[in-house]
Structure 1
Amino acid sequence: MQEGTFHLPPAEGPDLPGAGHGGMRGIRRAAGRARHSLVNSPLTRRIIIINLIALNVMVAGIFYLNATRESLVVQRAAALVAEAELIANVFEARMRQAPGPSALLADEGAVAASLASLSLRNGIEVFIFDDGRRLLGQTRGSRAGASLAVLGEQPARRTPVSNAIAFVWDGIAGLFTPASRRSSPTLDERLRTLVQRTLAQGTVIRTELDTAGGAVISATAPIRHGGAALGVVAVASPAGEIDALVHGERERVLQMFVVALAVSVGLSLVLSSTIANPLARLAEAAELGRERNLGGTGEGRVRIPDLSARADEIGRLSRALSGMVAALYNRIEGNEQFAADVAHEIKNPLASLQSAVGTLRRIQRADQRERLLEVIEHDVRRLDRLVSDISNASRLDAELVKEDQESFDLLQMLGNLNTHLAGTAALREIDYITDLPAGPIMLHGLEARLAQVFVNLITNAISFCEPGDAIRVWVRERQSRVLVVVEDTGPGIPEEALDMIFRRFYSQRPEQSFGDNSGLGLAISRQIVEAHGGVIWAENIRPTDADPTSEPLGARFVVGLPA
């Protein structure tokens, strides 16, 4: 694949089914967006379900722990006790005015008249029993606006949703209603059972009195005369009054639950749109790149959606994916350029070999044939060196990732190199000077690879020096950096080549040294240093910085590594 094969798809233009590859791309993208819609998103469903579980647990807890019924029962029971004792006091006062103690209770007309004179709130029922449990009279209150039960008589405030919920609620509650309640006797029969207890103990309260009309609250008080209990006043709340009030409270809670449910689903969709949609876009871009790779369509670069402005994990993911894709494309382009450079570098010695072999067939003189054989041998050595260096360079990236980094002493490693390379410099009558600080300098990295860098720099300096020149290797610590400097008194580096010498296959060598180097040494050195988070550069040594045009006194290579 060459660099020219990368191109962007057209920014405009319809993607129609009949428009060739463009139409198919439009169909695939539309299908991808449909697959990742909010409705079909598993992440969206998970967010909604989790939020609804929390909401349902909260509402169930409200119903389970709600004290509304208990508080209403206590209030209504206290009111009924007061009313029962008040009615008993009324009868006791009239008994004191009657000719005989039991004359009033013996006259059902008088009892009815006394009950008729009472002002009772709407729905309340009053029963009068004698000491033999015989019902003497009863009445029902009709004072409008005085009953709490009117709260349950407002159907206009109910909504279809609340009615449906109430219907379901009543159906479920009916399953757990005891059979005794569904076949309960009448209210007066239930109150009659309390007469003897009231005569013996005084006021009696029953908060759960089951009747055919529903549960009621009752209070019974004795009617006394001269210290003796002659009758009983029984006051009962309207049937189902408490249930109606509690039912109304529950309906209001359920109505709020429906509102909270709608708000929760809406907020869940909003939250999901800020999470699921960006993730779906990132996944769609990655899947599109995979499909292009599998199909070999080469439709252009994979473009990751730019979500880097977000200050959350999705923004981090977008930046990471964009950086990863950019790094991959840079690596692909680098490999393509490297392959092109390799082809170009190998082509030169092959062309020379082809020319020498063709000429060798026509040459008859022995000295000329010998010279051509030397050229062929030189080109073969050049090809062998070139192939070896290319192989090492191509494996370098993978090896830098696979090898485990360890801590090592930089000074000890340089000391070993200096001991070995000083002998090589002495053979060429080159002075070898070292300036290393005392004490260890610990670094974390690949010791063998960094040693390869310094060997390349020092041997490179030796190759450019002549007898009588000098090489100096020195180390300094600068805050969080360690500088390793290799200087020589050779011819220096042309100013225009200071940056190019680190490119692959670039070589600035004398003509007599042509073909002895592949031009990969400094490129490999920079790759190793940058893999360790460091920097490397080259500069000329000049007698004064004020005159950049003066002849250089030599070359200096500086390697900066994190301490």
Structure 2
Amino acid sequence: MTPGAEGEVPSPRRRGLITLQNSPLARKIITFNLLGLILLVGGMLWFTPSRDNLVYQRAAALVAEAELIADVVEARLPTGVPVNLAAGDGLDATETFARLDLRGGTEALLFDTQGSLVAQAISEGGASVAGLERGEDGTLLTNALNRLWDMAAGLLAPSAIPPAGADRIADARALGLRALEEGTVVETRSDNAGHTVFAVAAPVLQDGRAVGAVAVRSAAGEIDRLVRREREQMLRMFIVGVLVSIGLSLMLASTIANPLSDLAAAAELGRDRNARAMSPGRIRIPDLTGRPDEIGRLSAALRGMVAALYDRIEANEQFAADVAHEIKNPLASLRSAVGTLRLASREDQRQKLLEIIEHDVRRLDRLVSDISNASRLDSELVKEEEKPFDLLRLITTLNEHLGEEARAKGIEFIADLPAQPIIVHGLENRLAQVFVNLITNAISFCEEGDAIRIWARKRENRVLVVVEDTGPGIPENALTKIFQRFYSERPPEHFGNNSGLGLAISKQIVEAHGGVIWAENIRPTDADPASEPLGARFVVGLPV
């Protein structure tokens, strides 16, 4: 079939990602992917252990620094001589602290046992050390995200760190007095700007007796800057992840939303009232069967469904045309008989015309009844529930009734059925209708002295039921037509006694059960195929 032929489905049109801006499915895919990423990064930022690790490491480093300074002071104290740090007796504390090289904004203070400030040293920055340079500042976007995070964290979980006092010297003095009694102590505070400040106090010992305390205080916000820098790196990765997620989501959505949109557009075209004006030919479902996924399956299913619907529509149209044609024949005969009846003067002519009228009325009644049954058959086959039943018992019951009819006509009726039951799934009354049609057809074609044989055999996963007769057989040119609606091949004396729907209905019922039915002539073995048949054979195959 050429690309433009009727029923041919064109390839789906190529569309870019920009068309997904109007796709709810694409927006959902992107939203759900971003939600997962946001929850992951937000959870890492909220429950991050890095801040705790940094706090611990910085506090441990500050403890080591405070104890080291205390050891330096202790090393310069004389042994065995009482020392008064405030009076400078035995130690020049100011000169010792002046030599301390503190970095990073650290402040060191020395107190005596009374809490008096003896010496103080403050970091002046100093030269940078290779390998310890700070990284570059964040970008405008990450800085904005950082501020938003700080605001949200401040609202959802206010800091539990106690604020520092207004006088840092007083705070250090209080911590130093604690160290005289408890040993090295660590304290975490926050300044007025909310920055974290660490303070450590370590006792200065002489001969095992505390003679003073060294308090070391970190620069305000030192840990906050480290955490912020780490968060900066995470936010950068988050931005990259967002961009990658959106790009991949758009690619995924383009392989889902665009084909679904094409399929929906084709289906909607068939739904619209003006579909005929828009597309005079068949509705064309995009061919996506090459995709090894659910969309490919959906495309194949829709294409098959549309093809089945068009076949059903065409069958209904053909059925309606056949019905009109079949009804016109008896109606024309009736019209002619009624018109002639008015002109007939002899009683025998009038009686003959009345017999013709009565025959045509019976023919119309039979035809309308058969047409009604045929038109309801599809819906009934779908609605009725299939059940398992014994096929041989059904055939035996039919043989008992129809066999009497055949024998009354002088026809020998033979049944050859297995002893074991054969269970099939289906509609028992509908399959009974099939075998009634086949047997009554055989009886109608047979004459006195002929024979009818019905037999059944099970073959693996199928059962064959055969109805044979020794009648005149089937004309060769009719073998392919006898299952068509309204086709009837009967002697002239039987004209009008059949609607020609029986075998068509039987074929429809058998195929609805997943079976097959065919007809053939019975001929002698090795005989000329053109020789006169010995009878007719109808075979029904059903799954078991």
TM-score (norm 2): 0.90
1:71 paired residue among 49, 53, 57: 53
State how far apart, in whole Å, the 1-side matches of 2:39 and 2:498 are: 77
State how far apart, in whole Å, the 1-side matches of 2:429 and 2:153 are: 81
The residue type equivalent to 1:277 in the other structure is N
The residue type equivalent to 2:96 in the other structure is S
1:44 paired residue among 7, 26, 31: 26
The equivalent of 1:113 in structure 2 is 95
SS at match of 2:77: helix
Q: 1:358 to 1:443 in 2, by over 3 A?
A: same
SS at match of 1:292: coil
Contact persistence 1:482–1:561 (CA under 8 A):
yes
Moved over 4 A (4+): 6-11, 97-100, 146-150, 173-183, 293-298
The equivalent of 1:420 in structure 2 is 401
Q: 1:215 to 1:108 in 2, by over 3 A?
A: farther
Q: How does 1:158-177 map to 2 (within 5 A)?
A: 158-173=138-153
Q: 1:290 to 1:174 in 2, by over 3 A?
A: closer
Structure 1 residue 547: deviation in Å? 3.6
Structure 1 residue 39: deviation in Å? 2.4
State how far apart, in whole Å, the 1-side matches of 2:329 and 2:95 are: 133
2:389 paired residue among 408, 430, 455: 408
The equivalent of 1:188 in structure 2 is 169
Contact persistence 1:349–1:379 (CA under 8 A):
yes
State how far apart, in whole Å, the 2-side matches of 1:72 and 1:123 are: 17
Contact persistence 1:487–1:555 (CA under 8 A):
yes
Structure 1: unaligned runs, 5 residues or longer: 1-5, 12-29
State how far apart, in whole Å, the 2-side matches of 1:62 and 1:245 are: 16
The equivalent of 2:127 in structure 1 is 144
Please state which structure has a larger fraction of its residues in helix: 1
1:204 paired residue among 181, 185, 195: 185
Contact persistence 1:122–1:146 (CA under 8 A):
no
SS at match of 1:500: coil
The alignment yields a C-alpha RMSD, in angstroms, of: 3.1
State how far apart, in whole Å, the 2-side matches of 1:273 and 1:131 are: 76
Structure 1 residue 332: deviation in Å? 0.9
Q: 1:502 to 1:103 in 2, by over 3 A?
A: closer
State how far apart, in whole Å, the 1-side matches of 2:506 and 2:8 are: 39
TM-score (norm 1): 0.87
2:226 paired residue among 242, 245, 249: 245
The residue type equivalent to 1:81 in the other structure is V
The equivalent of 1:521 in structure 2 is 502
2:286 paired residue among 305, 309, 325: 305
State how far apart, in whole Å, the 2-side matches of 1:316 and 1:480 are: 29
Contact persistence 2:9–2:287 (CA under 8 A):
no
Query: Structure 1 stretch 98-107 or stretch 397-406: which is displaced more?
Result: 98-107
1:86 paired residue among 68, 76, 91: 68
Q: How does 1:21-60 map to 2 (within 5 A)?
A: 37-60=19-42
State how far apart, in whole Å, the 2-side matches of 1:218 and 1:126 are: 10
1:290 paired residue among 253, 271, 288: 271
**Alignment of 1:129 onto 2:111:** yes
Contact persistence 2:162–2:189 (CA under 8 A):
no
State how far apart, in whole Å, the 2-side matches of 1:118 and 1:374 are: 137
State how far apart, in whole Å, the 1-side matches of 2:74 and 2:39 are: 54
Structure 1 residue 393: deviation in Å? 1.2
Structure 1 residue 255: deviation in Å? 1.7
Structure 2: unaligned runs, 5 residues or longer: none
Deviation digits for residues 520-545 of structure 1 (CA, Å, limit 9, x no counterpart): 11001101111111110001111125
Alignment length, in residue pairs?
A: 533
Q: 1:181 to 1:46 in 2, by over 3 A?
A: same
Deviation digits for residues 382-412 of structure 1 (CA, Å, limit 9, x no counterpart): 2222222112111211222222222221111
Q: 1:187 to 1:107 in 2, by over 3 A?
A: farther
Contact persistence 1:281–1:305 (CA under 8 A):
yes
The equivalent of 1:561 in structure 2 is 542
Q: Report sequence identity in percent.
A: 59
**Alignment of 1:465 onto 2:443:** no
Structure 1 residue 220: deviation in Å? 1.6
Structure 1 residue 295: deviation in Å? 8.3
2:214 paired residue among 220, 228, 233: 233
The equivalent of 1:494 in structure 2 is 475
Structure 1 residue 360: deviation in Å? 3.4
The equivalent of 2:523 in structure 1 is 542
2:77 paired residue among 80, 88, 95: 95
State how far apart, in whole Å, the 2-side matches of 1:149 and 1:9 are: 71
